[in-house]
Amino acid sequence: MRSTERLLDQLNRAFGGEAWHGPALRNLLDGVTDDQAKSHPIRGAHSILELVVHVGTWNDVVAQRVGGTAVESKDVDDWADVAKIQWPEAIKRLEKAQSKLADAIARLSSEQLEEPVAGAKRSRFSEIAGALQHTVYHSGQIALLKKAL
C-alpha cells in the first residue's frame, strides 16, 4: 500500500469508517440533537458543537497547508464563537473540511508526503498525522460527552 493510501485509509477510518480505536467521529455525531450539541454536560469541558467546529477548522487549515498554502496558526480563528453556528451547519463544515483534506492527500505522491509542508519545517506527513491525532483525540472527548448527556 502506498504511503498516501495508508494515510487516507487511516483518515477515512477515523472519520466515518471502521475505526479500531473506538467510534469514528462522524458516526459519533449521528443522532446528536441541536440542544445536546450545544450543552456542556461536563463541567469545564467544551460542548460537542465547539469540538466539531474546532476539528473542522483545523482540518481545513491542514488541507490548505498540505495543498501548498501557508497558514499561520496565529491567524486561525481557533475555538470560534459558536453562538451563531447552527448544529447542521457545523456538521457540514466538518464534512467539507474532511473531504478537502482527503482530496489534498490523494493528490500527493509518496515523495511529496515527506517534503516540508507549506510554511513549516515539518513534513506533510507530520502535518497530516497531527490532524489525524487531533481528530481522534477530540472523538474520544465527544464520546465521553455523549455518555454524560
Partner 1 sequence: MTADDVRELIAYNRWANRRILDACRAADRSAFDRAAGGSFGTIKDTLAHLAWAEWLWLERYQHRSPKKASLPEATDLASIEGILTDVGRGQEAFVSKVKDADLDERIAYQNIKGETWEYTLGHMLQHTVNHSTYHRGQIVTMLRQSGANAVSTDFLLYFDETT
User: Binding segment for partner 1 among 9-17, 64-72, 79-87, 90-98 (CB under 8 A)?
Assistant: 9-17
Q: How far is the CB of 84 from partner 1 (least distance, A)?
A: 25
User: Binding segment for partner 1 among 31-39, 75-83, 84-92, 136-144 (CB under 8 A)?
Assistant: 136-144
- How many CB atoms within 10 Å of residue 62? 25
Reduce the secondary structure of the chain to three states and give it as a string: CCHHHHHHHHHHHHHCCCCCCCCCHHHHHCCCCHHHHHCCCCCCCCCHHHHHHHHHHHHHHHHHHHCCCCCCHHHCCCCCCHHHCCHHHHHHHHHHHHHHHHHHHHCCCHHHHCCECCCCCCEHHHHHHHHHHHHHHHHHHHHHHHHHC
Q: Do residues 145 and 45 make contact, with C-beta atoms less than 8 angstroms apart?
A: yes
Told to check if 125 binds partner 1 by CB under 8 A, we report: yes
Told to check if 137 binds partner 1 by CB under 8 A, we report: yes
Q: How far is the CB of 119 from partner 1 (least distance, A)?
A: 12
3-state secondary structure of 17: coil
In the shown chain, the binding pattern of residues 11 to 50 toward partner 1, with x for contact by CB under 8 A and - for none, equals ---x----xxxx-------------------xxxx-----
Told to check if 147 binds partner 1 by CB under 8 A, we report: yes
Indicate which single residue of 10, 47, 57, 59 sits in contact with partner 1 (rule: CB under 8 A): 10
Type of residue at 140: G
Told to check if 129 binds partner 1 by CB under 8 A, we report: yes
Name the site residues for partner 1 (rule: CB under 8 A). Answer: 1, 3, 6-7, 9-10, 14, 19-22, 42-45, 73, 113-114, 121-123, 125-126, 129-130, 132-134, 136-141, 143-145, 147-148
